[in-house]
Amino acid sequence: MDPSPAHAPAETSPKRPSAWWAVVITLAGWLILAYPAFIALFLTAASFSGCFLECATPKPQPVAGMAGVIILAAMVVCPPMLGVAVVRQSRKWWTALGGCALVVVAGVVIAAL
């Protein structure tokens, strides 16, 4: 016997991951980025002051300093955005995360100039 349309099983929506995955992804991302963020912070401070270890005549580089600030902000923001993108499974969050990664790449390119 075929089941009648009234008794057919309903389509189930795909189950979303738990919100705890976002927390785990965020903390793991921050742990992975801790050392690179420290180096970026050190180089950003050196760019703004114009002195690395010692200097007689400082040569500040504010453009490289601002690029460093943008990179640092993206290092703080990208792990939570990745966690939310995984949990929500929304195209908007993945697009925003791609934009954040693009900002990091642009900041690295500007700092290298």
DSSP 58-74: ----HHHHHHHHHHHHH
| pTM given for the model | 0.73
Low pLDDT (below 70) residues in the chain:
1-13, 111, 113
Residue 52: per-residue pLDDT: 80
Residue 27: per-residue pLDDT: 96
Residue 3: per-residue pLDDT: 59
Select from 95, 96, 89, 83 the least CA-distant residue to 13: 89
The sign one gets for the Cα dihedral 42, 43, 46, 48 is negative
Tens-digit pLDDT profile for residues 51-77: 887 787 888 888 888 888 988 999 899
